[in-house]
Structure 1
Amino acid sequence: MSEEGVTQDVKKPRSTLGVRHAQCVMLFFALVLAFAMRVNMSMAIVAMTDKTKEDSFGWSMQTQSVILSSFFWGYVVLQIPAGELAARYGGMLLITACIAINSAVSLLIPIGSHYGGWQLVCACRVVQGLSQGFLYPSMHNLIGKWVPLEEKSRLGTLIYAGGQFGTALQLMASGFLAEYWGWPAIFYVNGTLGAVWTVIYVFLGADSPQASRMISAEERLYIQTSLGHVGVQKKLKTPWKKIWTSLSFISLIVVHCGQNWGFWTLMTEIPSYMSQVLGVDIKANGLMSALPYLAMYLCSFPLGFMSDYILKKKWLSITACRKLSNSIGLFGPAVALVGLSYVPAGNITLAVALLTVVVGLNAGHYTGFLIVHIDMAPNFAGTLMGITNCLANGISIIAPLAAGAILKDETDPNEWRKVFYVSSAIYIAANVFFIIFGTSERQEWNEPLEDSKVAPNDMTSEKKTEKVV
């Protein structure tokens, strides 16, 4: 197929909203619920161990730390297998299982904590972490099949912003739920909402436009043509050797690890910094805790629309556009993080403002390296995401430990400066590596010629991809 032919075949459906938008909204809420259930324990455990309450537990700080970390013990395990399972069985089954299991376990935690103690609570969190290992690989698989190239930035951003919205919403709501209905209400509300989502998605969801019973022929053809999926799609064997020897893919591993180092250093250490150095307990104020994540959620939309607009106007190539977004997402926080380390004690307003800037600008990675997994190889997007997310979440565990090793005195601003400098340097180094070696060009191993009849029609170069946009 010629480049001109590709351009002419991609005709937008007459209706503004379609089934693809309904799928994206459902995936958005899946991430809202998944992240709400991921972070709910950090707020609930404060009420669960409040000695002034009758139903509280006398768990030590060490026990509480074990409970809070137990989610990630399970989370890193299934990342790579989940990518393969999504490629083989489709993302719908896995994402449904993820939310359904998390919801069921969330409903079980209040009862389990009384009968099984902290050990059973840890077991529940490990199970939730295991099932959430399906989350990102499934999302990437579904986005790679449902979202047309020219809508990928804004619709991809809409979906992934759900994580930060869910985090902010949970941080704000947990205090009120615990205060008026008791801490079990936090888990009961999460579990009930997750169960409702599961029922709705079973009826509305689909692995791809080809599998949907509701989509129009016009919209299906639009999506398939845009993505180069016209024709019978065969199950392709994962080209493991080519993936692991691809420098472009290795750059995704590096930048994802760098992103997680900075993000989880902030998530785990900022409350201590605010308390020990600036004299405020950020966890005592739900709104203050949620503000940076609300900023990240809100910033993601203009960045998503900006990316799609730049591509529509053909001001930059797809690769350059992704690198611009990623640079905003990593270079911006790197600079703001250094500024945060010099905030004078007592200046809470400036500290919170800079923290909000750090986390808000980080939204650029949604339209940066996260989307590049799909750009490079939509047929293996779930597998690629499983690999990078597995390794990056190993970094999520290491980063707080490294910060603890650096901090000899938690009240010394100079010690904290070292932590922020390290995170800033890793942000910069990881993004520079991605700028040099990363690409959005469709990889030749995405659809090997010998394995697929539709490969000749596929857009195997970035130049053809840009024609569609």
Structure 2
Amino acid sequence: MGASSYHIHKAVPARVSLAFMTAAGVMVLYMLRINLSVAIVAMVETPIANNEEGSISVQPKASCLRNEKLSWMNQTHEEQATTETTTNAESRTGLPADEQASDRIVLSGTQKGLILGAFFYGYIFTNIPGGRLAEVYGTKRVFGGSMLLSSLLTLGTPLATHLHYSVLILLRIMIGLCQGVVYPALHVMVARWIPPLERPRFMSFTYMANCVGLILTMPVCGLIIDAVGWPTVFYASGSVSFVWVVLWFTLMYDSPEQHPRISTEERRYILEALGKDVTVKPKRTPWRDIMTNLPLWAINMAHVGAMFGFTLLMTHLPSYMSSVLGFSIKSNGLLSALPFLTQFLGSNACGMLGDFLLTRGYITVLTSRKIFTTVSLVFPAVVLVAVGYVGCNSTIAVSIFPVGTAFAGAICSGYLANHHDLSPNFAGTIYGVTNTIAFGVGMCVPVVVGVMTPEQSLGQWQAVFWVTAAMYLSTWLFYVVFASSDIQPWNSEGGGGGKGENVVENNHGEELESLNKTKDEV
């Protein structure tokens, strides 16, 4: 048994095990984040307003359905809307209304919206503290502690639901506060564990595991609700999270030096690749230097553009399909999952390509960051504009949508990996700054779209897509002009001692040499 275990540890590098553990954690993270979005359909009953004649109101026809050439679709659309409205409880959950009554609560549309948005009210406030906490106390404690608290709160969701909807709102805010620390903490882990040339692939696999979490959580939660009721969704997801937390605290270590089972060859390779630029616990944060740093603002702007477009792609394009084309993308499970799947696959493809180009020495680090940032910002901009001009052809529009998300997945190989180039010591803090700014802008997207599309016409949506494309392109231009891969002077405690790009590239050359020497051993 001992010899077998030894060979397993030799065969599987510690950072590979770390990648799978982290990816599993991100999947569970999103399970806890979106379980309410699925379960709320069975949890809540929203009163339906009637018209003056006492009959149930029908949604206006979609913009394209007003075309006389599609009159046969109009009739189908009206019948479908009426059927969905009159069989409200049964059609959404698959259960008879009388069997659900005891577990359902009655809320207005506004109250329901407040509950769904409550997570983000908390999330935006803990990104910066999360990065700093991980730099001081380690990702193991911050990520694991966040998931532990999120698990406890998730298990309490059914009770909070039946107490009062305001209690549920408070609980979701608390879950958001807990989870806001996670991605900045992961940035710290990457800085201390992953050699620079391997970061695009590692981050694509782990960070974008949220897409896999979304793909799995939606149908599984639906099956659980149909089988045993919506409260079990929270009991099951909270329990799964607990299992992951136990494994995380048992197997994860904050640095290669602390890992008891890592091979000597792998430890030496990682530490030589990281160099002397990463300290374990920086004592102070150079806030003034961080907030006035132009290369960091290049990353901030790129993330703003990506978040603006991502929010539109993930939350509003299905509405466009429904309100303009008369086609609900949510009605087809494959089409609902496809954008998440293509983003995950696209991100990992870019990560492998980025690793290949860097490890072969074909391009520099800065060139790699700019190429993949261009892919993640310019190509989705083109896709969005194209969606607006395919007219009423829903087949082409739905086919183009996943292409845009696939391109957007390149962010992990582009600007998202750039934080570590500028300051591995403060990667968590500066990512927290970036995510807070971008998320604040992203929260404005629903308002912007609402103002620009009062009639939900094709022309109004075309204007929305042009505005989003302008955001993509302007932030991309700012990035390619001002981005840098130089380690900044404030990375070292007390400032000073910054490296120029030539020195950085020389370090990567040394890493390539070390990789060639140790790849057969690790």
Please give the TM-score of this superposition, normalised by the length of structure 2.
Answer: 0.82
Cα drift, residue 348 of structure 1: 3.1
Q: Deviations along 1:368-416, whole A, 9 cap, x unmatched?
A: 1111011211110000101011111111211111111111112x11111
What residue is the counterpart of 2:116 in the other structure?
68
Q: Residues of 2 paired with 1:211 and 1:456: CA distance?
A: 28
Residue 145 in structure 1 maps to residue 192 in structure 2:
yes
Cα drift, residue 185 of structure 1: 2.6
Residue 379 in structure 1 maps to residue 379 in structure 2:
no
What residue is the counterpart of 1:8 in the other structure?
none
Aligned mate of 1:25, from 20, 23, 31: 20
* Paired residues of 1:171 and 1:286 also in contact (CA < 8 A): no
What residue is the counterpart of 1:122 in the other structure?
169
Residue 358 in structure 1 maps to residue 400 in structure 2:
no
Unaligned runs of 5+ in 1: 1-13
Paired residue type of 2:374 = S
Q: Residues of 1 paired with 2:282 and 2:387: CA distance?
A: 49
Aligned mate of 1:99, from 144, 147, 157: 147
Aligned mate of 1:466, from 497, 503, 508: 508
Cα drift, residue 158 of structure 1: 1.0
* Paired residues of 2:118 and 2:169 also in contact (CA < 8 A): yes
* Paired residues of 1:171 and 1:289 also in contact (CA < 8 A): no
What residue is the counterpart of 2:58 in the other structure?
none
Aligned mate of 2:157, from 104, 109, 122: 109
What residue is the counterpart of 2:223 in the other structure?
176
Please give the TM-score of this superposition, normalised by the length of structure 1.
Answer: 0.91
Paired residue type of 2:136 = R
Cα drift, residue 305 of structure 1: 0.5
Structure 1, 104-113 or 190-199: larger mean CA deviation: 104-113
Task: Give matches, 1:301-450, under 5 Å.
Answer: 301-345=348-392, 347-410=393-456, 412-448=457-493
* Paired residues of 1:236 and 1:447 also in contact (CA < 8 A): no
Paired residue type of 1:178 = I
Q: Residues of 1 paired with 2:281 and 2:234: CA distance?
A: 42
Cα drift, residue 230 of structure 1: 8.9
* Paired residues of 1:442 and 1:461 also in contact (CA < 8 A): no
Pair member with larger Rg: 2
What residue is the counterpart of 1:214 in the other structure?
261
* Paired residues of 1:375 and 1:441 also in contact (CA < 8 A): yes
Cα drift, residue 358 of structure 1: 1.1
* Paired residues of 2:208 and 2:344 also in contact (CA < 8 A): yes
Cα drift, residue 70 of structure 1: 0.5
What residue is the counterpart of 1:284 in the other structure?
331
Paired residue type of 1:183 = W
* Paired residues of 1:228 and 1:458 also in contact (CA < 8 A): no
* Partner SS, residue 105 of structure 2: coil
Q: Deviations along 1:121-157, whole A, 9 cap, x unmatched?
A: 1111101100011111100000110111221111121
Task: Give matches, 1:143-292, under 5 Å.
Answer: 143-229=190-276, 233=280, 235-292=282-339
Paired residue type of 1:244 = M
* Paired residues of 1:94 and 1:134 also in contact (CA < 8 A): yes
Cα drift, residue 456 of structure 1: 9.7
Query: Structure 1 residues 176 and 269 mapped into 2: Cα distance closer, same or farther (>3 Å)?
Result: same
* Paired residues of 2:189 and 2:254 also in contact (CA < 8 A): yes
Aligned mate of 1:48, from 43, 52, 62: 43
Structure 1, 221-230 or 305-314: larger mean CA deviation: 221-230
Q: Deviations along 1:260-299, whole A, 9 cap, x unmatched?
A: 1111122221222111111122233333222100110111
Aligned mate of 1:78, from 114, 126, 135: 126
Cα drift, residue 233 of structure 1: 4.6
Q: Residues of 1 paired with 2:208 and 2:107: CA distance?
A: 34
Residue 132 in structure 1 maps to residue 179 in structure 2:
yes
* Paired residues of 2:486 and 2:501 also in contact (CA < 8 A): no
Structure 1, 229-238 or 287-296: larger mean CA deviation: 229-238
Cα drift, residue 90 of structure 1: 1.2
* Paired residues of 2:191 and 2:278 also in contact (CA < 8 A): no
Paired residue type of 2:481 = I
What residue is the counterpart of 2:520 in the other structure?
none
Q: Residues of 2 paired with 1:298 and 1:95: CA distance?
A: 25
Q: Residues of 2 paired with 1:47 and 1:398: CA distance?
A: 28
Cα drift, residue 344 of structure 1: 3.1
Query: Structure 1 residues 433 and 456 mapped into 2: Cα distance closer, same or farther (>3 Å)?
Result: closer
What residue is the counterpart of 1:4 in the other structure?
none
Paired residue type of 1:337 = L
Cα drift, residue 177 of structure 1: 2.2
Aligned mate of 2:30, from 31, 35, 58: 35
Q: Residues of 2 paired with 1:459 and 1:201: CA distance?
A: 37
What residue is the counterpart of 1:57 in the other structure?
105
Q: Deviations along 1:403-461, whole A, 9 cap, x unmatched?
A: 11111112x1111111111111101111111111112222222124x689xx7999983
Query: Structure 1 residues 242 and 56 mapped into 2: Cα distance closer, same or farther (>3 Å)?
Result: same
What residue is the counterpart of 2:59 in the other structure?
none
Q: Percent of aligned pairs with the same residue?
A: 33
Unaligned runs of 5+ in 2: 1-8, 46-88, 90-96, 513-522
Alignment coverage as a number of residue pairs: 450
Query: Structure 1 residues 374 and 432 mapped into 2: Cα distance closer, same or farther (>3 Å)?
Result: same
* Partner SS, residue 441 of structure 1: coil
Paired residue type of 2:14 = V
* Paired residues of 2:273 and 2:508 also in contact (CA < 8 A): no
What residue is the counterpart of 2:86 in the other structure?
none
Q: Residues of 1 paired with 2:261 and 2:197: CA distance?
A: 22
Q: CA RMSD in A?
A: 2.2
* Partner SS, residue 461 of structure 1: helix
* Partner SS, residue 156 of structure 2: helix
* Paired residues of 1:71 and 1:125 also in contact (CA < 8 A): yes
* Paired residues of 1:336 and 1:357 also in contact (CA < 8 A): yes
Q: Residues of 2 paired with 1:456 and 1:65: CA distance?
A: 48
Paired residue type of 1:427 = Y
Query: Structure 1 residues 120 and 95 mapped into 2: Cα distance closer, same or farther (>3 Å)?
Result: same
